[in-house]
Chains A and B, each alone.
Chain A
């Protein structure tokens, strides 16, 4: 009985998030599409031609999966952090907190919002990429599962950021000082094989490296010299999901940053 009503609650959050993304599409969908189109033009087309091959692929082909993944990551994160912090700031988070909807469903609902925006932007960026290069997806399941799971990871991360955040600066700091460097150094624009051994080892502590390279493997296929074994990528991604979800639940339960 309660499960049924909890599912209605979940559905309500998901639908509300969907409407939010669509209502403010000028903030949610348009900017990442423009940014990514510029990346393709500048890095892929203009500079890429001079770079030549990367890991045996045209530079444009090489960075396309990286750029798709990058937009999925930033948009999943960005959606949850701004929606949930917005709810905290505007106090309408209280609407959910006073209701009998379990914390896990509140988290899942917001993660679903992050997924929607992340995947939607990822899709748009893929379409844009197709104007510049051709992408024959080699391993459909690897491609879909890695992008899906990665989106969940960063939706959860955005959720946690929002829980801790006390003002608008707090929701800008992590994306700027943590997320952006990790993404840029996460093998979006280059293969970590190019790095000296020491920096390769350091890079392997960056979880985004695994996600990007698993996704790139899914699209470009066997021909790609693997930076990282694919099974490792899954272990790490799923490990992060479990870790971050548990932390989110814990934070909601204790009311950190949410209840007085």
Chain B
């Protein structure tokens, strides 16, 4: 692909997802929906496909009523319903132990399900498992290649298991190892790669049969920022070429900037499932940190706002749906305070997460 094509795609993607940089603009036009999120964080589960999407495109993945109880009695999934459209860039998020890897394990047939249905494109995993498997490429959370195998053989063998003839397998191996900047390492024993290189090797391996659905389970864990960015660009490009992508990550800004749709899973249940920008928009409260030019002795009182002092020159202020930043600036000026600079406390997805966890903890506390 020509590089300017790529730029266009990237720009259009940036426009689609209103990332952190556009918070100020969107916030003032947010329509309130009565603090729905705070009172009941679980209420924003709703069908992801809005009325705009009339005809039903092919589903890359549809899961219904999926349950999993491990042999040790752990109930990892308690009835999950999930649909991912073909071509989507989908984020599957959730805290540690939520069940993300379990879902992926079942879809890729590494874990036997207890109940429910899984369809990958037109293949039901109970009816045509091999058909389903052929559509999927998976980058697992944990390193799972043979550490004693050479880098190029890891990819070549995987191509073989998928039935790709040797010559084509060699071409593809070169192509993907080059794209993931591993071609120079092809003769190296795979265990001699650095952590980030190992992750990239698993991406190359997952792509060698050019799957229609690429599932990435925390592909950027432990990867430095530069490589992470180049991995994002790479995955975006794969997605732009038509591959459906499901991504799990704990870097929420990564999900926020890459993914069009999101599901959040917690304790084996889907608690949020919607378009990314809708999820972000429904976040009612945002916290900003103001750095003041003057030193303050006590917490300034701003009518109607919750203000916390962080140190002698900075405060954090929460703004709700009916409030706006201008009001804050006016009130600060009235007190003779000047805001030198200001930033979001966390990115918005992170706030959503924190709220989900908080409300859960409060709830648990109430029960005891």
Chain A residues within 8 Å of B, Cβ to Cβ: 2, 4-9, 11-13, 15-16, 87, 90-92, 94-102, 255, 259-260
Interface-central residue, A91, A100, A260, by most chain B CB under 10 Å: A100
Tell me which residues across on chain A come within 8 A of B145, comparing CB atoms.
Answer: 92, 95
Give bound CA distance, A70 to B124, whole Å: 47
Give bound CA distance, A260 to B102, whole Å: 10
Partner of B163, one of A6, A16, A96, A260: A6
**B143 in the interface, Cβ–Cβ < 8 Å?**
yes
Q: Is the CB of B110 within 8 A of A8?
A: no
B 133-146 to A, binary, CB cutoff 8 A, 1 in contact else 0: 11010101011111
**B20 in the interface, Cβ–Cβ < 8 Å?**
no
Q: Would you call the interface of chain B mostly helix, strand, loop, or mixed?
A: loop
* A98-B163 contact given A90-B146, A90-B147, A260-B111, CB 8 Å threshold: no
14 contacts between A and B (CB under 8 A): A8-B163, A15-B160, A16-B157, A90-B147, A91-B144, A94-B110, A97-B110, A98-B109, A99-B161, A99-B162, A100-B129, A100-B130, A260-B71, A260-B105
Tell me which residues across on chain B come within 8 A of A5, comparing CB atoms.
Answer: 162-164
A104 to chain B, nearest CB (A): 12
* A9-B161 contact given A92-B146, A98-B108, A98-B110, CB 8 Å threshold: yes
Q: Would you call the interface of chain A mostly helix, strand, loop, or mixed?
A: helix
Give bound CA distance, A100 to B163, whole Å: 8
A198 to chain B, nearest CB (A): 45
A10 to chain B, nearest CB (A): 9
Q: Is the CB of B112 within 8 A of A255?
A: yes
What bracket does the count of chain B residues touching chain A fall in? Answer: 20 to 34
Partner of A9, one of B111, B143, B144, B160: B160
Q: Is the CB of A91 within 8 A of B143?
A: yes
**B131 in the interface, Cβ–Cβ < 8 Å?**
yes
Tell me which residues across on chain A come within 8 A of B110, comparing CB atoms.
Answer: 94, 97-98, 259-260
Q: Is the CB of A95 within 8 A of B163?
A: no
Q: Is the CB of A92 within 8 A of B161?
A: no
* A100-B131 contact given A8-B165, A260-B111, CB 8 Å threshold: yes
Q: Is the CB of A102 within 8 A of B130?
A: yes
Partner of A96, one of B105, B142, B153, B161: B161
* A95-B165 contact given A100-B134, A259-B110, CB 8 Å threshold: no
Tell me which residues across on chain B come within 8 A of A9, comparing CB atoms.
Answer: 160-163
**B70 in the interface, Cβ–Cβ < 8 Å?**
yes
Partner of B157, one of A4, A6, A95, A102: A95
A123 to chain B, nearest CB (A): 26
Give bound CA distance, A112 to B158, whole Å: 19
Q: Is the CB of B146 within 8 A of A94?
A: no
Partner of A12, one of B71, B109, B133, B157: B157
The closest CB in chain B to the CB of A106 belongs to: B161
Give bound CA distance, A150 to B327, whole Å: 86
Give bound CA distance, A66 to B143, whole Å: 44
Give bound CA distance, A2 to B161, whole Å: 12
